[in-house]
A = this chain, B = another copy of it.
Amino acid sequence: MTLSCDLESNRVNELRDLLNLISPKIIDYVSKADPNSSTYEASSLGTFHNPLDLKKKLVTSDLESAISTDGLKNEEKIAASGSSLDKVIDDVLSLSVNTWNPGFLDKLYASNNPIGVISDLILSILNTNSHVYTVSPVLSVLENYIGHKYASLIFTDNVETCGGLTFSGGSWSNVTSLQIARSLKFPETKETGNAGHKFAVYTSKHSHYSVEKAAILLGIGSKNVFKVKINEDGEMDVKSLEETIQSTLKDGYTPLYINATAGTTVFGSYDPFTEIAAIAKKYDIWFHIDGSWGGNVVFSQAHRYKLKGSELANSFTTNPHKMLGVPTTCSFLLLPHVGHFQKAMSLSAPYLFHGNNDDEENFDLADGTMGCGRRADSFKFYMAWLYYGTNGFEERVDHAFKISKYFIDKIYEISGFELVLGSREKLPACLQVCFYYKPEHFTELDHTKVTRYISRKLHSQGKYLVDYSPNPTSQDGKGEFFRVVFNSPILTNKVIDDLVESIVAAGKEVK
């Protein structure tokens, strides 16, 4: 009897052929979006497509039929120009947002870069799981190494014991920090749950929604998340924090967790960590910092002062996939005591974790998480740090701050532009700028119409994708404003000049 299967019987040639098919496509895709390339097209960012139209375009009856039967694999010349697979790849690339275009200013992440692509490719080839050491020896060792190195930048008082693990995004790192807080401060909750506790969580009104979602997920509930006032720069008001804590204590709450933010989502503000740490200590509350966005200013000698006091935190979230250009997704939760991951999380699961000797470090990394399977996102960060070095990361962060500052100075001189929050002198807090633009002829108080018109117009030109938002706290009737993120080494003053001109030009058309 012979048992064999054809599906992967020709892996080597198939891989070679498909790599040969796709390599020129991706080089071309990046070239089109690169101002330094001879084939640069400013409009290569791509334009908006209605979702249902796009679905019709992508999910053709031919493809539906292939999926439901034999697939494309056996098509003759599958890896040749003109094959069905060739067309699928072309459509996926051309109808997506080309984030390599310098006009991608919409979100807190930027494009990938060459070493990032290579890292993803290596992870794909290794195709393993960084949950237990046996199957991911290299990736586990490197996560252990780089997590410690990263954490030691923040936890300068605990450089021996600190460490970090990755989670699949800042939200999950924040969720995990809340779980660790509850588990270490109230260990009985692992067995008995929240019963008998009336936990309170404190965070600023400008913090990310994941803090509220974390409290919901952990069975604490959104009503027990107390949203502390912010000051005129969008930073947590520490006096209000203490008043809130005192008020909840009177109401019989158990204060569990304070979240402070390093780089708020909308405005980029940094909360006053030293003062918050003192309050956390005074009332014996876990002190977490969500630095998903702004935590990586730690690489900049010029800007790391914004993190002052973060060495006093009990946990710290930071995302290399945002400010450092590591491929999405890459988020770390850092702790002053790396052993606390396991202490807070471990269950006995002897079919998976075969145990260490007491004096050994843990390299079965999933044992310190609430999950099991893990893609080794840490490897992408390791490779980026090795490639660019600490100095390269610093240069990246500093350049982005300079570009943001340049934009602020520029719009400050042009009639119709107005900063939403904070003063020109203090800004940029982080790498985004929030502003209104009102063309001379536009007279409504509410900016929503003009903001949306201009942002859609820019997108329709395929040159710029910028975001807009209402103010999370103010009810001044001024409506939605622009939030533009300057977070890429490929940005130049030339791009900024053109962006401002494009906004002004689009503004003239608003009716």
Contacts and interface: CB of A to CB of B under 8 A. Distances in A.
A457 interface: no
Interface stretch (A89-97, A279-287, A304-312, A435-443): A89-97
A58 interface: yes
A129 interface: yes
B489 A399 contact: no
Given A63-B386, A125-B29, A128-B96, A195 B193 contact: no
A431 interface: no
A30 to B, nearest CB: 6
A500 to B, nearest CB: 14
A30 B8 contact: no
Interface string A458-495: 00000001011110100000000001000011111100
Nearest to A17: B114
A109 B372 CA distance: 13
Interface in A245-297: 265-266
A347 B222 CA distance: 10
A121 B22 contact: yes
A6 to B, nearest CB: 8
Contacts of A343: none
Contact of A133 (B7, B51, B111, B192): B51
23 contacts: A1-B493, A3-B399, A3-B402, A11-B113, A22-B118, A48-B137, A58-B141, A66-B386, A66-B389, A69-B389, A71-B389, A93-B122, A97-B128, A97-B137, A116-B127, A121-B121, A179-B216, A182-B219, A193-B219, A218-B219, A219-B220, A319-B373, A321-B373
Contact of A72 (B49, B99, B122, B386): B386
Interface in A210-225: 210, 212-224
Nearest to A123: B120
B23 A11 contact: no
Nearest to A223: B191
Contact of A93 (B125, B134, B391): B125
A391 to B, nearest CB: 5
B217 A370 contact: yes
A122 B89 contact: yes
A189 interface: yes
A107 to B, nearest CB: 6
A421 to B, nearest CB: 13
B329 A373 contact: yes
Nearest to A35: B9
Contacts of A212: 347
A82 interface: no
B134 A95 contact: no
A361 to B, nearest CB: 7
Contacts of A4: 492-493
A177 interface: no
A423 interface: no
Interface in A163-222: 168-172, 175, 179, 182-183, 189-195, 198-199, 208-210, 212-222
Given A171-B372, A375-B329, A222 B69 contact: no
A195 B214 CA distance: 16
Given A169-B373, A170-B373, A350-B470, 18 more contacts: A5-B395, A7-B489, A9-B490, A18-B118, A19-B23, A51-B140, A71-B385, A129-B328, A168-B168, A168-B371, A168-B374, A171-B372, A190-B222, A191-B221, A193-B219, A218-B219, A329-B375, A351-B472
Interface string A3-36: 1111111111011111101110011011100101
Bin chain A's interface residue count: 35 or more
Given A189-B219, A212-B347, A3 B406 contact: yes
Contacts of A386: 63, 66-67, 71-72, 85, 88
Interface in A357-412: 360-361, 363, 370-375, 383, 385-392, 395-396, 399, 402-403, 406
A59 interface: yes
A382 to B, nearest CB: 9
Interface string A63-106: 10011111111000000000001001101110111011000001
A314 interface: no
Contacts of A171: 370-373
A340 B211 CA distance: 22
Interface stretch (A142-150, A232-240, A501-509): A142-150
A320 interface: no
